[in-house]
Structure 1
Amino acid sequence: MKILAIDTSTAVMGVALLDEKKIYAEMTTNLRKNHSIRLMPTVAQLFDEVKWSPNEIDLVAVAKGPGSYTGVRIGVTTAKTFAWAQNIPIVGVSTLETMAYQQHSFPGVISPLIDARRGQAYVGLYQQRNDSWSNLEYDRIILLSDWLQILKKREEQVLFVGDDVSLHQTQIDEFLGEYATYSSSPFNLPRPSVIGWLAYQQYLTGTVDNTFDFTPAYLQLAEAEVKWLEKQKLAKG
């Protein structure tokens, strides 16, 4: 099964071509540049390099968020358009789960983290136990201080994963002390090949998304929507 994997949910833009046995091509950048301009040329470049054509793809995998509102939308819209045009299934994968899975051999629990500003963070909690990969706490946006209280009650080693973790390391250390462990930088970025792999695992269980109904996992309203709702409340008195 040939898979196209796409991720534009954060500052990272990633594209991978793979099947169930091998990664054929993968490109990842961690630059705050316009994903909408760079994504399709990157896809075309990888197709050209591995000598695949779009009609050979059997499955589209995409990071569904959370992350940048605009970034998530770009990746999901591109993936949906490709899946619709080729009449093939699409599977959305949590950006947070992707980040966590890259450290699935860690013996404790894994907390991927993306900064959401105003003291908030996008977080989830995952663990590999024996042969079972589990989501222990669902992905959410939450005040980081509240999240750290949840983790503190577990009294177990937590591995924090993500480029944004460094922004909050002082606060994390204050709450968790020796329970906090940090991923090294090469493993902080979500890899598109991992998105493709996780999507393939979901596909094997019969879990695919409806191309037309599939929507990103923003986990919060866009700032413009929040302001619009506030104006509506004021208008109604």
Structure 2
Amino acid sequence: MKILAIDTSNDVLGIALLSEEKIIGEYITNMKKNHSVRVMPAIERLLADCETGTEDLNKIVVAQGPGSYTGVRIGVTIAKTMAWSLGIPLVGVSSLAVLAAAPRYFSGYLCPLFDARRGLIYTGLYKYENGALVNVLEDRNILASAWAQTIKTYGEPILFIGNDIPIHKDTFQIELEEKAIFAQIPEQNPRPGELGLLGINLPAVDIHSFTPNYLRLVEAEAKWLEKQERKND
């Protein structure tokens, strides 16, 4: 079985090709660039370097969000199109779970996060139990200060993971003190290989009804709804 993993949900563009036995190849960049013009060439290059054709693929796993509205939409659209055209299964995985997956060595709680602006973050709480990654507190869009209050009652150390940690580091250090631990730079990028591993045994979704998980409305949609509500008052 060969699985193609696609993650364009944030600044990191990640593509991986893997089997049940190994990660065959990975492509990762971390730049504020338009994924829409880069993702297909990245997929083509990786498959070519790994001497794999699209006809050899058996499954596609995509980072479903949360993250950048445009980025999530690009990845999901490409994954759906490829899965439908190739007639192979499609699976979606939380973009936050991908971040949390790498630090298997850490025995405490894992807190992946992406900045969502205006003091808000996308986050969730995870933990490895018997070798499996478990979602302890579901993914959400929340003020960093409120999230710090929520998780400070947990008795074990918490490892914060993600490229946006510097934006909110002080908030967590103040509230959690020595329980707050911050991942090192090599762990901050979500690995597309981890994405593929998380989705390798998940059941396929319905391609046509599969949608991104934004966790919140984009600003334009929120303003439109507010306007409609005022009209109806």
Shared fold, TM over 0.5: yes
- For the residue of structure 2 that corresponds to 1:201, the secondary structure is coil
| Percent of aligned pairs sharing the same letter | 47
Q: Please identify runs of 4+ aligned residues in structure 1 that moved more than 6 A.
A: none
Q: Does 1:226 align with 2:222?
A: yes
Q: CA deviation at 1:132?
A: 3.8
Q: Distance in 1 between matches of 2:85 and 2:193?
A: 22
Counterpart in the other structure of 2:114:
114
Q: CA deviation at 1:98?
A: 0.7
Q: Does 1:141 align with 2:141?
A: yes
Return the letter of the residue paired with 1:138: E
Q: Does 1:215 align with 2:223?
A: no
Q: Distance in 2 between matches of 1:50 and 1:172?
A: 42
Q: Distance in 1 between matches of 2:152 and 2:50?
A: 47
Asked if the contact 1:152–1:175 (Cα under 8 Å) also holds between the matched residues in 2, the reply is yes
- For the residue of structure 1 that corresponds to 2:208, the secondary structure is coil
Asked if the contact 1:105–1:128 (Cα under 8 Å) also holds between the matched residues in 2, the reply is no
Number of aligned pairs?
Answer: 233
Q: Distance in 2 between matches of 1:214 and 1:234?
A: 32
- For the residue of structure 2 that corresponds to 1:197, the secondary structure is helix
Q: Distance in 2 between matches of 1:47 and 1:97?
A: 25
Which runs of structure 2 are paired with 1:54-203 in the superposition (5 Å)?
A: 54-202=54-202
TM-score (norm 2): 0.97
Q: Distance in 2 between matches of 1:156 and 1:50?
A: 42
Q: CA deviation at 1:145?
A: 1.1
CA RMSD of aligned residues (A): 1.0
Unaligned runs of 5+ in 2: none
Deviations 1:34-89 (A, max 9, x none): 00000001111111111211111000010001000000000000000000000100
Q: CA deviation at 1:104?
A: 2.5
TM-score (norm 1): 0.96
Return the letter of the residue paired with 2:160: F
- For the residue of structure 2 that corresponds to 1:13, the secondary structure is strand
Deviations 1:90-118 (A, max 9, x none): 11111100100111220100000111111
Asked if the contact 1:123–1:141 (Cα under 8 Å) also holds between the matched residues in 2, the reply is yes
Q: CA deviation at 1:201?
A: 3.0
Return the letter of the residue paired with 2:84: W
Return the letter of the residue paired with 2:221: E
Q: 1:132 to 1:50 in 2, by over 3 A?
A: closer
